[in-house]
Amino acid sequence: MGSNHVNRRDLIKQAAAAGLIAVPAMGALTSCASGSGEDNKVDKGKKTKDNPLGVNKSAPLEVYIFDGGFGTKYAKDAQAVYEKNFPKAKTKLKSTQKIQSVLQPRFNGGTPPDLIDNSGAEQMDMGVLVGKKQLTDLTELLDAPSIDDPNKKVRDTLRPGVVEMGQFDGKPVWILYYAYTVYGVWYSQKALDKLDVEYPENWDDMLSVCAKAKKKGMAGWTYAGKFPYYLPFSLYPFMAKIGGPEVLNKIDNLEPDAWKQPAVKAALEAYYELYKKGYVLDGTPGLDHIESQTAWNEGKALFIPNGSWVENEAKKTTPKDFEMRVAAPSGLDSGDKLPFGTLWASGGEPFIVPAKAKNPTGGMEQLRIMLGEASSKNFTKQVSSLTSFNGGTEGLSLPPGLKSAVDALEKAGKNIVNPRIQDWYVALQKEKIGVACLGEMMAGRMTPAEAMKKAQKFTDEAREDDSITHYKH
């Protein structure tokens, strides 16, 4: 299970890894994608109330699913609905962990499938696919009536930020993220109860909770020290809470003062205080994600920054009475621009419809089915994860962590942030800012001032590098 979840997590970090790729001139790109997919397209069917996209009812449909942490049953169940709605259509659902190895040759040959879950360690690079014009614009799907309520468009049924995540510089939407991840500070309610404390909503309270834990021989925090790009899961929304969402927009836009902002300085200094006061679990810089989660499950630390996959990933070591919870990051003080509850949540598991698919309308219709309440509930029941459909949990018995994630989303309301740096500039975010700046600072090998200076240097280099495709809000 662990490796599949690492793949899924990689997907979240690599999603649309446009920032790593230098996109050549269009002429050179389109010449790679030979093949006559356009000529092979099936005729569209007639648009009706029951068939708003105009699916050709007898056309074959081919779907490829990444066989990872979510498995494939949810997709097979949705495929069965498609077959029921279009009994004359022959459908094929295939799965693999090697998406790129299996499907890149088919893209290059002009014969891709109709719908792909482009996920996992072998995810095809989104920036390249968009640059080569190899994806179908999904605006038609988003503007179609939803499967449950003909008076609501599909786009109006989605969680915050999902549509924007599929965009690259402009209005076309090339990717539909199906899963939905809540990031934040994870903890055991039982551990807080034992200390007789509540989850801290400001930094003074956070420090006093950590001090109380330390007296009982328990660390305040741990994190994936070998992969310190987990730290932003709580650190970035903390920055936004202090200074407003524009703080993260400047970081995403690679602006010359992005890492010099007062909110960035305040957030880094607050986290550095955890290290200085000895509130971070000894040895944390040497732990990977599984080891840090296990230490947390064993009661060695109160808090860990993570995403909502952690409940499933860590379940083998989670005590039955752990009462796993997630909360938005504690704020700094009463001067914060955004209210307590501000958190980072965004899409994962990117589905794409290739431009040269034979039956792109069928691919979009399959997504429309998946984004209905029945399919969404089915996914949540099977894999303990939310979908991008805004709802679909009513009447379900959710595990404690996922239930708290739903509560956290409700509390956040509109105060949900979605930093794009990890989608747009993967190497900058993970290795440079994550490992070389934040990781070094939290290990005590760099001061906040030094970390800010270095992060700004890396940001400036990325901005000036013409080989990187640049994106802006």
Strands (E), 189-281: 219-221
- Grade residue 158 by pLDDT with cuts at 50, 70 and 90: very high
CB-CB contact of 54 with 45 (8 Å): yes
Give the contacts of 392 (CB within 8 A, at least 6 positions apart): 373, 376, 377, 379, 380, 386
- Grade residue 12 by pLDDT with cuts at 50, 70 and 90: very low
Give the contacts of 259 (CB within 8 A, at least 6 positions apart): 251, 452, 453, 455, 456, 459
240 pLDDT exceeds 80? yes
Q: Which residues of 417-430 are buried (b: 16+ CB within 10 A; e: fewer)?
A: bbbbbbbbbbebbb
Strands (E), 174-225: 176-188, 219-221
Spell out the alpha helix ranges (H) of 255-390. 262-276, 289-297, 310-313, 360-370, 373-383
pLDDT score, position 372: 97
pLDDT score, position 91: 97
In angstroms, the CA 96 to CA 405 distance is 30
CB-CB contact of 334 with 13 (8 Å): no
Class of domain 183-344+420-464: alpha beta
In angstroms, the CA 112 to CA 123 distance is 15
Q: φ and ψ at 219, to 5 degrees? A: -75, 155
Provide Rg for the chain, Cα atoms: 23
Residue 244 gets the label, from left (phi > 0), alpha (psi -120 to 50) or beta, of left
Of 24-33, 94-103, 157-166, 187-196, give the lowest mean pLDDT range: 24-33
pLDDT score, position 382: 87
Mean pLDDT of 444-450: 98
pLDDT score, position 39: 61
Instruction: Determine how β-strand 301-307 pairs with β-strand 219-221.
Output: parallel
pLDDT score, position 140: 97
pLDDT score, position 129: 85
Query: 62-117, pLDDT tens digit by residue?
Result: 999 998 778 899 999 999 999 999 999 999 999 998 999 999 999 999 999 999 99
Share of the chain above pLDDT 70, in %: 91
399 pLDDT exceeds 90? yes
Query: 285-306, pLDDT tens digit by residue?
Result: 999 999 999 999 999 999 999 9
Mean pLDDT of 454-467: 96
pLDDT score, position 25: 32
Eight-state DSSP code of residue 145: B
Q: φ and ψ at 293, to 5 degrees? A: -65, -40
451 pLDDT exceeds 90? yes
Residue where the block lists tokens 């599929």: 166
Residues of the chain with CATH 3.40.190.10: 2-181+346-413, 183-344+420-464
Q: What is the pTM of this model?
A: 0.79
Of 119-123, 158-162, 243-247, 266-270, give the lowest mean pLDDT range: 119-123
Which of 1-15, 116-130, 177-191 is most confident? 177-191
Query: 362-398, pLDDT tens digit by residue?
Result: 999 999 999 999 999 999 988 888 999 998 888 889 9
- Per-residue tokens: 377: 């509930």
CB atoms within 10 A of CB 454: 18
CATH number belonging to domain 2-181+346-413: 3.40.190.10
7 pLDDT exceeds 70? no
Query: 189-227, pLDDT tens digit by residue?
Result: 999 999 999 999 999 999 999 999 999 999 999 999 999
Least Cα distance to 185 among 236, 261, 144, 134 occurs for 236
Angle at 289 between CA 285 and CA 293, to 5 degrees: 100
Long-range contacts of 204-212 (CB under 8 A, 24+ apart): 204/333, 205/330, 206/330, 207/273, 207/277, 207/279, 209/302, 210/274, 210/277, 210/279, 210/302, 211/277, 211/279
Angle at 231 between CA 225 and CA 234, to 5 degrees: 150
Q: pLDDT averaged over the chain?
A: 90
169 pLDDT exceeds 90? no
1 pLDDT exceeds 50? no
Give how far the C-alpha of residue 404 lies from the chain's centroid of Cα atoms, to the nearest Å.
18
27 pLDDT exceeds 70? no
pLDDT score, position 348: 84
In angstroms, the CA 177 to CA 367 distance is 10
Continuous segment of H or E residues that includes residue 110: none
33 pLDDT exceeds 70? no
Report how far apart, in Å, the C-alpha atoms of 40 and of each of 27, 112, 258, 355 are.
Answer: 22, 11, 48, 12
